Structure 1
Amino acid sequence: MEKAKVILVMLCGVITASPSVCAQELAEAYHDQFLTGTAISNDTLSKALPATDTPVCKEFNAFTAENAMKWQSLQPRDGEFDFSLADKLFELADRCGASVIGHTLIWHQQTPEWVFKDEKGAEISRKHLLERMKEHIYTVAGRYKGRVLGWDVVNEALNDDGSLRDTPWRRIIGDDYLIQAFRFAREADPDAQLYYNDFNLYKPEKVAGAVRLVHQLTDAGIDISAVGMQGHYSLFYPELSAVEESIKTLISAGTKVSLTELDVSVLPVPEESFDGADVNQRYVADPLYDPYRNGLPESEQKRLADVYEGLFSLFVKYAAHIDRVTLWGTSDDESWRNNWPVRGRVDYPLLFDRNGQPKLAYKVIVKKAP
């Protein structure tokens, strides 16, 4: 029998047959369980790209654009596309041997107002908006066809009670706008994985809504590859058992699960009922809610590590059904949690500190890997 040919490629300065040679620690530790990703900010993409010996390249094998592939970044004006930052994401991924997740094709946030209006400022028709949706998805997904592992096709379409949000997409097109978006995405890139992505999916009512969406898409003949559970968590919420129940519910619905935007805030919440990741939530700055401006105490580092250990142990438990765990950023200095829901706070939600050094949470989950 003829021996299989091994194609060697040059990545990270090393001749290798592995597409993820740069991922030497965290991603390698969980290599047999799931992809381990990070979000790449516009600031990172606007400068000289990270070297291959930095945590971005060494620790992760899946990249998601934090903002560079959202509608307002790619098509700020009708028919005027700007792929400069998105293209640099793919350049970085090629350099690091990482997969790319497209985020996001359809969202009610960070979508310019012109998308929903005519030249006189009046709301456009269902037919017109469907044409704009199709053109955008065909152009964007078509450009990166074969280079994207999967797309967050629709982002945050559900209220916490599981009902559909009253967004311009829904008001103009109707409840079937998700089906239309997924259909266009599948036509534009037949081989890409397709995801629905949302926050607070540890809440039973909301995860039930996600299950309904999965069934509606399946009934429409559309294969949804995974549901993305945004992991914008805190030391104060959610209960690990609630996250597990939601994972089990989605598995029972016949879909895989991705943990798509994982970070764990250590800061006090502005009010007892606060949770979630709605970017419209804003609170006035108060020193009471920003207690760690001079550094995170060792006791809080331990609490953060305990939360991450519990989460990664849970993800490993269901690894057969989890395809990816993506941290929403690499180091604390670049996290959106520093400015949400209160601007200018100092938060510590990620695995690397502001100097790019691994924190106790990082060390614990690497050590505890199977």
Structure 2
Amino acid sequence: MKLKKNQDNLKQIASLIEYAFLKDSDLTTDSNFMTRYDHSDGYGYFDQEKLTSYMMVNKFKAEIFGHHVPLAGIGYVASYPEYRGRGHISKLMKEILFDLHDQKIPVANLAPFSEKIYRHYGFSNSIYQKEYRFSGAALASFRLPRKGKIIRGKWNDLIVQNGVIQLYERQLHTDDERNTIIREAWWWNRLDDYYHHREIAVYFDEAGRPMSYLIYRIIDNCFMADELYSITPQGLLSILGFMAAHIGSIKEFCMTLPEKSLLAELFPEQNELDIQLHPYMMSRIIDFQKVLSCMRPLQEGTFNIEVNYDDQCPWNIGVWQLTNYDHQVKCERKEDELVDFSGPITTWTQILLGRLTMESAIKLGLITDYRIKKLDFVKGKVSFYDYF
């Protein structure tokens, strides 16, 4: 059931999360938790009057190819161990998906503790991160910029903050983001509160314009770059030069970057880099018609696309006619039409919001093509990562 916001429910929610996530402090006095709680809807299952299972839903907007689409971030999924395996979380998830559909929120994202479990609810892997690990020797050829300057500071430094926001907003207006959270002020401030030990470095060119930024932290002699964004080659090289200036005091460097990052091409010795790709977030399409209408097909024409399985959101099942002419994309439900492509909602999520191409999905047997038509979509990218 959806929970009312009152002191008794808050106390029970905090106690459950503290136990399930091994928190050693009172969350009701934790400003970071309370900020997220205040911007959330909570769903819980009670055994008599005791809260035994809980899920938090935060509402955002996401950038999907130039469309500002409402998105739900699901987190703090928790049950007391003695109540697990009774189907409580399944009941809550079903209620949440129905409520989000009624509220016209077409997409939900979450960070899974078990991919297998969340696939049962229709979620699929959609966002990946590329991790680079290397020693300081790999940075030896990079130098601080001779032109322009790097300003380092905290989030409350307005020069630094404005530089980051300008760059962040610039990328969101490229219409190339496929599943990227639009960060509101409260979320930016929460990130700063949660990672209060993080530093920010912004490179400004000779004209004083921000060209790149780096959000990072230094923990146990490891330089951890959590977010790097640049709009020019010089901006990227300047950030690497800034990192290289730490070689004398730092032994290990770790950078978390978007999946499509080609940063390794700038290093003279790529074999000094340990590069790994990690699944990060899963997505769930709640309103297939809405999400499909946001896509950018590579081919013009009319295509009949079938969702042949979705046991959690049955309104998605059926044939949807996608038309793309003169860059105008439309989608509507059709009856008794010949199907061009067919597959379950989990695979369509990977194609529309993830990295899977139609061609690959067909080759893997995840999508059935009945009429041998050619269709694929602009894949876009996820430039910024947010954890719920």
Q: Same fold (TM over 0.5)?
A: no
Which structure has the greater CA radius of gyration? 2
Structure number with higher helix proportion: 1
Structure number with higher strand proportion: 2
Higher RCO (Cα < 8 Å, 6 or more apart): 2
TM range (shorter): under 0.3
TM-score (normalizing by structure 1)? 0.27
